[in-house]
């Protein structure tokens, strides 16, 4: 599939579905000041609706746990590759190196454990001391490393081929699966439908503008995604490597390129540090909604909540680690292995479904006065447009893509 077509569909999903739902999630989180489950329960009560709407919060937390379970395994490989890329001389071919890494259950589980410990430590330290402090460190570092990698790729890579691949669309191979993947990617990259945005909305100051913040977050997220493409693909094309090779694109193709390039043993670790930093910022937002709920309900302290959920995620992640080796022939859903099944349930079913239900709730069931109270003074045209998209367009698009995929 041509990258350009996917990029355009992805951008369409961000604009038509992502931003309207993000605004809705922030409204719900900030209105209630609670974790996703309690936010849905509280606002349903305020709007004289059934408390069963809290199932949207449960669904989001469950999706976040599933995603984190396999995401942590992939992120663990990124951590491992910081050291591999620093010491790799090309004596062992990149495919062979990757095969050695994923064929060892002990190795994958070790790095999965390290990554989960890092995530749990940050989240257990709280919003201000843990997440807030890490965001202040991680985000500028991410931005600096990203810009450095893009400049390096422009100078040393095949930039024109990368631009053509990313921005010259070919719709001949586009299917309903493409739309579902693009929508799943949009939901994942914006953290929609998993409760993260609602949880962060609960900590958002009342004077901050919801619509402006949503557009800023979505724009920055999309910019980072495009910059990542501009950092990776020029190097891929410069070394005649395969651009459509899934995880192999990062771990096989990029290591192969670093082995061949000047200063590769310096650029390689930087690149994998960049990936690890990005992964850590995502894993924090996946763990936070569940931890917020448990500590809010006084089931456990924040630290205890982070530890218990992280342990459960770690156990589940072992299944994904074994999917690369011992369980590679084991199919859970259709012909999908354990990891792919977790990915399918979370990214392609639960996140879009959660997002669709949030749009339906805010568009059709939430009291209009509550929404207007949270949005504050807003351009009438912009408000009407958002209401139209959240009531009709976003739920219809998600529903139609679901229908095409499953029926």
For position 276, what pLDDT does the model report? 86
| Burial annotation 320-332 (CB, 10 A radius, 16+ → b, else e) | bbbbbeebeeeeb
For position 127, what pLDDT does the model report? 64
For position 2, what pLDDT does the model report? 57
Domain count, the chain: 1
What is this structure's pTM?
Answer: 0.85
Task: With residue 118 as reference, give the H or E element that holds it.
Answer: helix 105-124
Which CATH number do you get for residue 234? 1.10.4160
Q: Which residues neighbour 356 within 8 Å (Cβ) at sequence distance 6 or greater?
A: 394, 395, 398, 399
Number of H helices, E strands in the chain: 20, 0
CA distance 149 to 365: 46
For position 74, what pLDDT does the model report? 94
Structural domain including 175 reads: 3-406
Give the residue ranges of the chain where pLDDT is below 50: 1
For position 1, what pLDDT does the model report? 45
pLDDT digits (tens, 9 = 90+) for 147-167: 888 888 888 888 888 888 888
For position 93, what pLDDT does the model report? 67
For position 130, what pLDDT does the model report? 63
Could you identify the residue written with the tokens 């919003």? 127
For position 33, what pLDDT does the model report? 87
Half-sphere exposure of 259 (CA within 13 A, CB side): 18
For position 365, what pLDDT does the model report? 94
User: Do 294 and 158 meet the contact criterion of CB atoms below 8 Å apart?
Assistant: no
For position 91, what pLDDT does the model report? 65
**What are the φ and ψ backbone dihedral angles of 206, each rounded to 5 degrees?**
-65, -30
């Amino acid at each position: 599939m041509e990258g350009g077509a996917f990029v355009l569909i992805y951008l369409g999903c961000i604009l038509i579905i992502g931003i309207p739902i993000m605004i809705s999630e922030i409204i719900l989180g900030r209105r209630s000041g609670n974790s996703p489950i309690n936010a849905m329960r509280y606002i349903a009560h305020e709007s004289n609706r059934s408390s069963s709407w809290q199932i949207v919060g449960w669904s989001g937390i469950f999706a976040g746990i599933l995603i984190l379970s396999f995401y942590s395994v992939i992120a663990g490989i990124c951590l491992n590759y910081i050291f591999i890329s620093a010491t790799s001389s090309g004596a062992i071919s990149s495919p062979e190196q990757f095969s050695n890494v994923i064929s060892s259950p002990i190795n994958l589980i070790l790095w999965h454990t390290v990554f989960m410990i890092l995530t749990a430590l940050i989240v257990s330290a709280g919003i201000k001391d843990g997440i807030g402090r890490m965001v202040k460190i991680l985000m500028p570092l991410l931005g600096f490393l990203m810009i450095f990698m893009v400049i390096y790729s422009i100078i040393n890579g095949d930039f024109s081929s990368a631009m053509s691949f990313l921005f010259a669309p070919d719709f001949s191979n586009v299917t309903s699966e493409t739309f579902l993947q693009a929508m799943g990617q949009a939901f994942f990259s914006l953290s929609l439908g998993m409760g993260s945005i609602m949880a962060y909305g609960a900590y958002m100051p009342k004077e901050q503008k919801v619509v402006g913040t949503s557009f800023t977050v979505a724009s920055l997220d999309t910019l980072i995604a495009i910059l990542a493409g501009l950092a990776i693909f020029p190097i891929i094309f410069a070394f005649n490597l395969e651009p459509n090779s899934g995880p192999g694109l990062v771990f096989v193709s990029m290591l192969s390129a670093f082995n061949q390039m000047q200063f590769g043993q310096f650029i390689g670790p930087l690149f994998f540090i960049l990936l690890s930093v990005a992964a850590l910022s995502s894993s924090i937002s996946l763990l936070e909604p569940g931890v917020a709920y448990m500590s809010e309900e006084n089931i456990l302290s924040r630290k205890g909540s982070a530890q218990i959920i992280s342990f459960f995620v770690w156990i589940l992640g072992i299944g994904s680690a074994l999917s690369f080796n011992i369980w590679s022939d084991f199919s859970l859903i259709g012909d999908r292995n354990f990891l792919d099944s977790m990915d399918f349930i979370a990214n392609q079913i639960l996140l879009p479904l959660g997002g669709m239900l949030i749009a339906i709730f805010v568009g059709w069931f939430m009291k209009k006065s509550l929404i207007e109270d949270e949005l504050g003074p807003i351009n009438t045209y912009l408000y009407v447009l958002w209401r139209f998209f959240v009531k009709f367009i976003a739920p219809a698009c998600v529903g139609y893509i679901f229908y095409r995929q499953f029926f």
